[in-house]
A = this chain, B = another copy of it.
Amino acid sequence: MIRRIHHINFIVRDLGQAVRRYRKLFGDPVTEAEELPQRGVRLARFKVADTWLILVQPVTADSVPARFLQANGEGFFLLSCQVDDVRQAAAQAAAAGIGVKDRLPRQGLDDWQVIDLDAADLFGADIQLLESAD
């Protein structure tokens, strides 16, 4: 059901500082300071082969990424897995006993449609299903 690892998100406190360090490993970012206001974050994207690495800085206090930072500190946040049909994949996950956080997909970057799974059912890992034409 999962086609590929589409992106991996890292939570950071200071996007500019993190980008300066990560570019030493991953080369120049594709974007350096995108805004995703509905998620309360600023972000930078690196591309490694066909996987995005995304540094995410919370910019509002009341958001999922901000609460993750407060609870866990900086580091790995989310693994996003591409599927052909995100609603159908979420229904399959739910039928297999994996909690689904939203009934309808939310809009991420570009044309990304995402549904988050419940980390409590995945042994602590935040995994997300994603649909995109790319």
Chain A positions near chain B (C-beta within 8 angstroms)? 1-5, 8, 10-13, 17-18, 21-22, 24-27, 48-51, 55, 72-76, 79, 81, 92-93, 96-98, 119, 121-127
- What is the distance, in angstroms, from A11's C-beta to the closest C-beta of chain B? 8
B96→A24 contact, CB < 8 A: yes
The interface residues of chain B lying within 8 Å CB-to-CB of A76 are: 75-76, 79, 124-126
A5-B5, A79-B8 given as contacts; is B122 within 8 A of A21 (CB)?
yes
The interface residues of chain B lying within 8 Å CB-to-CB of A75 are: 76, 119, 123-126
- What is the distance, in angstroms, from A6's C-beta to the closest C-beta of chain B? 10
The interface residues of chain B lying within 8 Å CB-to-CB of A48 are: 2-5, 81
Residue of B nearest to A120 (CB): B74
